[in-house]
Amino acid sequence: MDGIFLQQTINGLTLGAVYGLIAIGYTMVYGIIGMINFAHGEVYMISAYLSAITLAILASFGLESFPLLILGTLLFTIAITGVYGWVIERVAYKPLRNSTRLAPLISAIGMSLVLQNYVQISQGARQQGVPTLLEGAFKLHIGEGFVQLTYTKVFILIAAFVGMALLTYVIQYTKLGRMCRATQQDRKMASILGINTDRVISYVFVIGAAMAALAGVLITMNYGTFDFYAGFIIGIKAFTAAVLGGIGSLPGAMLGGLILGVAESQFSSMVNTDYKDVFSFSLLVLILIFRPQGLLGRPHVAKV
């Protein structure tokens, strides 16, 4: 195993962890209302802007300690992005609960156009960025070369893991989680049992947005730059991750994210960087053809 391979695996894992976090939003929304949330990529993009804005504001108050900066950014970004998730559901999905199958998809696409363009108009079309927050790296010498594991990447992996663990706890062991799972299984029955399913669906959007916000902060830390168009490609890739892992399955989303991240990093180092997005999209099509239920998903049985 040479250094480049290991380095790309590390890069891929960090990237994949972030894909996984965004994929959770797709998977949960799909699980509960059986629909792809096309505006989810835009939620991530908004959170990237929010994290840069928070950082800029905090920095202007002279705050320099990394833990405080990152904590403030995370809290603020997750809170506001969560509200975005709620608003998106309220505007683009809730009025269409009993409509044709196509209507919510189209309104979600409309929503995603609105969000993109609104950010473009208010923040300008140029690329934005954040300063590096965590300097330094671990260096591992392997043979001729060395592998670099920046502190930022370590932080991303830890934060993504903590985020996943928290979410798993919420879904598995809290009342809210039980309500979510019940609504996912059978919405009508859940509402007969006194669960306010409309509210549960809202919560799911908020949770998905919060996870995307975490991803937004982490990715912004790692790459430093983003623009109003960033949500589009990452959105499709996160969706690919969700499908790869098995849509509707939370561990699947994370696993799919990691696999996709590593595969993409290896592809861009071994084959061609320009075509790495093409590679991911092709992967999506191939999964859909050969294993539509994904790695951890259950095969779909049509109700007749």
- Kindly state whether residue 122 participates in binding other proteins, applying the rule CB under 8 A: yes
Q: Which residues have C-beta within 8 Å of that of residue 32, sequence separation ≥ 6?
A: 180, 183, 184, 187, 200, 201, 204
- Kindly state whether residue 267 participates in binding other proteins, applying the rule CB under 8 A: no
Q: Are 253 and 244 in contact (CB under 8 A)?
A: no
Closer to other proteins by CB, 80 or 295: give it: 80
- Kindly state whether residue 114 participates in binding other proteins, applying the rule CB under 8 A: yes
Quote the CA–CA distance of 165 and 18 in Å, as a whole number.
14
The residue within the footprint of other proteins, chosen from 56, 68, 192, 193 (CB under 8 A), is: 56
Which parts of 228-257 interact with other proteins (CB under 8 A)?
232-233, 236, 239-240, 243
- Kindly state whether residue 68 participates in binding other proteins, applying the rule CB under 8 A: no
Q: E strand or H helix at 138, and its extent?
A: strand 137-142
Closer to other proteins by CB, 119 or 211: give it: 119
The two structure tokens encoding residue 216? 């937004």
Closer to other proteins by CB, 157 or 203: give it: 203
CA 244 to chain centre: 14
The stretches of 149-249 forming alpha helices (DSSP H) are 151-173, 175-185, 187-192, 197-223, 230-245
Q: Are 213 and 47 in contact (CB under 8 A)?
A: yes
Closer to other proteins by CB, 116 or 266: give it: 116
The residue within the footprint of other proteins, chosen from 63, 75, 106, 270 (CB under 8 A), is: 106
Smallest gap from Cβ 119 to other proteins, in A, equals 6
Quote the CA–CA distance of 85 and 203 in Å, as a whole number.
9
- Kindly state whether residue 100 participates in binding other proteins, applying the rule CB under 8 A: yes
Residue 69 class from Cβ within 10 Å (0-12 exposed, 13-18 middle, 19+ buried)? middle
- Kindly state whether residue 63 participates in binding other proteins, applying the rule CB under 8 A: no
The residue within the footprint of other proteins, chosen from 1, 102, 141, 144 (CB under 8 A), is: 102
The two structure tokens encoding residue 39? 């505006």
Smallest gap from Cβ 303 to other proteins, in A, equals 9
- Kindly state whether residue 47 participates in binding other proteins, applying the rule CB under 8 A: no
Torsion of CA 259, 265, 271, 272, to 10 degrees: 130
Which parts of 268-287 interact with other proteins (CB under 8 A)?
274-275, 277-278, 281-282, 284-285
- Kindly state whether residue 259 participates in binding other proteins, applying the rule CB under 8 A: no
- Kindly state whether residue 91 participates in binding other proteins, applying the rule CB under 8 A: yes
Residue 254 class from Cβ within 10 Å (0-12 exposed, 13-18 middle, 19+ buried)? buried
- Kindly state whether residue 263 participates in binding other proteins, applying the rule CB under 8 A: no
- Kindly state whether residue 135 participates in binding other proteins, applying the rule CB under 8 A: no
The two structure tokens encoding residue 167? 């979410």
Smallest gap from Cβ 285 to other proteins, in A, equals 6
- Kindly state whether residue 65 participates in binding other proteins, applying the rule CB under 8 A: no
The residue within the footprint of other proteins, chosen from 4, 6, 69, 80 (CB under 8 A), is: 80
The residue within the footprint of other proteins, chosen from 87, 134, 140, 176 (CB under 8 A), is: 87
- Kindly state whether residue 301 participates in binding other proteins, applying the rule CB under 8 A: yes
Q: Could you tell me which of 158, 138, 14 has the C-alpha nearest to residue 74?
A: 158
Q: Which residues have C-beta within 8 Å of that of residue 143, sequence separation ≥ 6?
A: 2, 3
The residue within the footprint of other proteins, chosen from 135, 143, 194, 289 (CB under 8 A), is: 289
- Kindly state whether residue 35 participates in binding other proteins, applying the rule CB under 8 A: yes
Give me the amino acid identity at 7: Q
